[in-house]
Amino acid sequence: MKKLFIYTFLLGILAACGETETAQQQETLQQTEQIQQPQQQTVEIPENQQGMYGYYVGMFEAEEFKKNKKPSYSNKINIAIDKIEDGKIEGHSVIAGNSRPFSGTITDKGNNVYAVEAKEPGDDKYDGTFSFIVDATNKSLQGTWVANDKKLAVTKRKYNLPKKVFMYKKDLELEESVVQDIFYDSYDDEQGTFEIPTEQAILINASNTELKPEDIENLYKGDMEIIRNAIYARHGYTFKYRRMRYIFDKISWYIPVHTEVKDMLTDLEKKNIDLLKRYEKHSEAYYDAYGR
């Protein structure tokens, strides 16, 4: 009986010690957290961080620029968060015909808000550093970007981007914004006119309709160009040159995702592209020439 009491008592003490240690461990952990809070998240990735993965899309606005270098004041950008682990963030941005990776640190600021400092590799002349806040509740991110090369036309940009989901849909139609502005850099000295898109450019969908010559033979070259490039835009193609980029950046559903979409085109789209290119080239050579 006496032995049983002693053993139970010893067990009790051991258990109590164990509990104290756990409590001590917890306290230590909390202390560690408090010290490291400004730098690292040491707890494993909670669900809401994975919820931050995805595309944040909107306008990349010039904040510091040199006018004489013909800056592009505003381009649509897709800042994609690909991976968050141990306070490190990896992603990539797609804009103006380029897709560049970035990596850096992500810090929990509390209230479901995170601060990111991320650098692009640095071996491309347009690389720079991103500095932004991710609001995981509102699903948006905003901040600034600074170029590495201070001689660029634009050395600092700002952005406020809502999270968006990209999905190719052949039925996506163009919008009125297409016909509300002239083509970039289209002033013709000889004629004294600008080139403007017409309603025809937004009435024809070359991704869901098989085009025949009679559908497009009476179109202006610029309209055909828009109809053809809309195919690429639906697939998330990022436009390298301003002429088409400035038009599609204004489309609400347009998200730059891929630098190459050749392999994603449907057979119908490929056929339409061939037909449109043929008539565009013909118009280019013959529309205003002496001849038929």
* 204 lies in the site for other proteins, by CB under 8 A: no
Among 14, 122, 278, 284, binds other proteins (CB under 8 A): 278
Among 69, 169, 262, 281, binds other proteins (CB under 8 A): 281
User: Taking the complex as a whole, how short is the minimal distance between the CB of residue 204 and other proteins, in angstroms?
Assistant: 14
Q: What is the DSSP string of 120-186?
A: --S-STT-EEEEEEEETTTTEEEEEEEES-TTSSEEEEEEEEEEE-----TTPPP-GGGGGSPPTT-
Tokens of 223: 């309209």
Q: How many residues sit close enough to other proteins to count as binding (CB under 8 A)?
A: 19
Distance CA(98)–CA(76), nearest Å, equals: 12
Among 193, 194, 240, 262, binds other proteins (CB under 8 A): 193
Q: Spell out the long-range contacts of 208-211 with Cβ–Cβ below 8 A and sequence spacing 24 or more.
A: 208/170, 208/171, 208/268, 209/272, 210/268, 210/271, 210/272, 211/271, 211/272, 211/275, 211/276
User: Taking the complex as a whole, how short is the minimal distance between the CB of residue 81 and other proteins, in angstroms?
Assistant: 47
Q: Between residues 109 and 221, which has the closer beta carbon with respect to other proteins?
A: 221
Q: Between residues 228 and 235, which has the closer beta carbon with respect to other proteins?
A: 228
Fill in the amino acid letter for 91.
G
Helix (H) or strand (E) holding 94: strand 88-95
Judged by CB under 8 A, the stretch of 141-149, 179-187, 252-260, 280-288 that binds other proteins is 280-288
Among 105, 220, 258, 271, binds other proteins (CB under 8 A): 220
* 290 lies in the site for other proteins, by CB under 8 A: yes
* 186 lies in the site for other proteins, by CB under 8 A: no
Binding site for other proteins (CB under 8 A): 191, 193, 213, 217-220, 278-279, 281-283, 286-292
